[in-house]
């Protein structure tokens, strides 16, 4: 995006990280946008890509819903023509359903890269044995991954996985899961350095990510957790030796972070420090893309409202304008509100940085009955997963 205020006067940390390879795909900038429900739709992915290069993954989509072609699942996997690499993250707990979903994506040419979600800590997912709870059942993990890898590779599509450290500190899974995934032929692994129990609270365990990098040196490893700035990304790479980084909450309301990340990982100290007016320009562009995505002005702007606090974090906006933006329902109204901003107001520094959204607090994981008693499925668990995906929404 042209006209952004940048600053090269500081001592911004830099690296010169090589391109990352997932199967037959090469990405010059090893930065991955983490799938976030309700956030990383096509509009936000396109906006981030206008600032910097990376791997922009869609919102997680449920395998069952995709196989059934629910309208919401088909919307989630829709990519705009501008999106050159179509990355889709699938969630599933039943191997045959996951196989069918991957086959559909491959045979209908709907994806260039598939990622499997074994990292989600949401109770609606883990209570059915999915997400970050699933690798605990190593037999199910193997069966599911075997099905997905076979279908993806049959069509020449790279397949990666996203995992967490484990269910909790006493039930860690990342070591076994990574070795199994590597041996089954996955093309890359991302590790979020937290357990299910932590959700997004506390600090991410970068030592665990470093351990994983050492454990499986033969395929790309992506580090995830507590990256809110380019300097954080550089620090993670230096601490862990990972091949790339994955960004989630840190880029909410901050699409220009991808410009900073590309600069830092390719040796440039230049950082984007937007004026309030430039934030307003990014916010307006996001509105345009959301309207195009939803094909409806009101719905697009309704979706934009949740981004207000993230975009204007740390800036002096004024209570009336801020509340107006949180209720905006037309582009005319949006332009009037943005016109009331002090466009020349400088970047507020640390007040605009850090985490977006709520980190929350540790929670007892919601799991199927007796899930932690064994690393292997019992008859009750096998019966449960045959129906589990029917209880998860299409997103």
> What residues are annotated to the active site?
120
Is residue 168 classed exposed, middle or buried when 0-12, 13-18 and 19+ CB atoms within 10 A define those classes?
middle
Distance CA 84, CA 271 (A): 26
The closest of 132, 181, 129, 191 to 159, measured between CA atoms, is 181
Query: Which pair of structure tokens corresponds to residue 222?
Result: 């992506």
Q: Characterize the bridge pairing of strands 221-224 and 271-272.
A: unpaired
Classify the phi-psi angles of 37: left when phi > 0, otherwise alpha if psi is within -120 to 50, otherwise beta. Answer: beta
Is residue 281 classed exposed, middle or buried when 0-12, 13-18 and 19+ CB atoms within 10 A define those classes?
middle
Helix or strand run (H / E) with residue 176: helix 174-184
Distance CA 8, CA 52 (A): 17
Are 334 and 328 in contact by the 8 Å Cβ rule? The answer is yes
How many Å separate Cα 199 from the centre of its chain? 14
Are 384 and 130 in contact by the 8 Å Cβ rule? The answer is no
The closest of 91, 98, 93, 61 to 76, measured between CA atoms, is 61
Q: Rg (Cα) of the chain, in Å, rounded?
A: 21
Query: Interior CA angle at 169 toward 236 and 167, to 5°?
Result: 95
Distance CA 213, CA 200 (A): 22
The closest of 270, 194, 201 to 230, measured between CA atoms, is 270
Are 80 and 47 in contact by the 8 Å Cβ rule? The answer is no
């Amino acid at each position: 995006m042209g006209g952004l205020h940048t600053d090269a006067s500081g001592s911004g940390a830099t690296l010169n990280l090589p391109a990352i390879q997932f199967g037959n795909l090469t990405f010059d900038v090893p930065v991955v946008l983490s799938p976030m429900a309700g956030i990383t739709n096509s509009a936000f992915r396109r906006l981030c890509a206008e600032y910097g290069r990376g791997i922009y993954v869609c919102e997680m989509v449920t395998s069952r819903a995709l196989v059934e072609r629910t309208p919401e699942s088909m919307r989630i996997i829709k990519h705009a023509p501008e999106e050159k690499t179509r990355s889709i993250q699938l969630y599933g707990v039943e191997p045959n359903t996951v196989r069918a979903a991957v086959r559909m994506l491959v045979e209908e040419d709907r994806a260039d890269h598939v990622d499997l979600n074994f990292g989600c800590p949401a109770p609606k997912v883990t209570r059915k044995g999915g997400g970050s709870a699933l690798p605990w059942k190593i037999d199910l993990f193997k069966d599911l991954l075997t099905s997905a890898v076979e279908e993806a590779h049959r069509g020449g599509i790279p397949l990666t996985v996203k995992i967490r450290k484990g269910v909790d500190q006493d039930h860690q899974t990342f070591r076994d899961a990574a070795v199994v995934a590597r041996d089954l032929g996955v093309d890359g692994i991302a590790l979020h350095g937290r357990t299910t129990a932590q959700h997004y609270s506390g600090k991410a365990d970068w030592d665990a990510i470093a351990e994983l990098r050492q454990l499986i040196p033969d395929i790309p490893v992506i580090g995830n957790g507590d990256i809110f700035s380019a300097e954080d990304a550089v620090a993670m790479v230096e601490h862990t030796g990972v091949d790339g980084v994955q960004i989630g909450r840190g880029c909410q309301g901050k699409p220009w972070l991808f410009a900073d990340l590309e600069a830092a990982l390719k040796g440039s100290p230049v950082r984007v420090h937007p004026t309030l007016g430039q934030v307003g320009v990014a916010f307006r562009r996001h509105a345009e893309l959301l309207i195009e995505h939803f094909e409806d002005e009101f719905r697009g702007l309704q979706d934009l409202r949740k981004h207000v606090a993230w975009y204007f974090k740390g800036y002096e906006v004024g209570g009336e304008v801020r509340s107006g933006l949180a209720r905006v329902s037309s582009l005319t109204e949006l332009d009037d509100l943005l016109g009331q901003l002090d466009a020349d107001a400088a970047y507020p520094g640390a007040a605009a940085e850090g985490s977006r959204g709520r980190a929350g607090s540790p929670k007892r994981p919601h799991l199927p009955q007796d899930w932690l008693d064994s690393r292997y499925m019992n008859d009750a668990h096998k019966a449960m997963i045959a129906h589990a995906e029917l209880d998860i929404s299409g997103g």
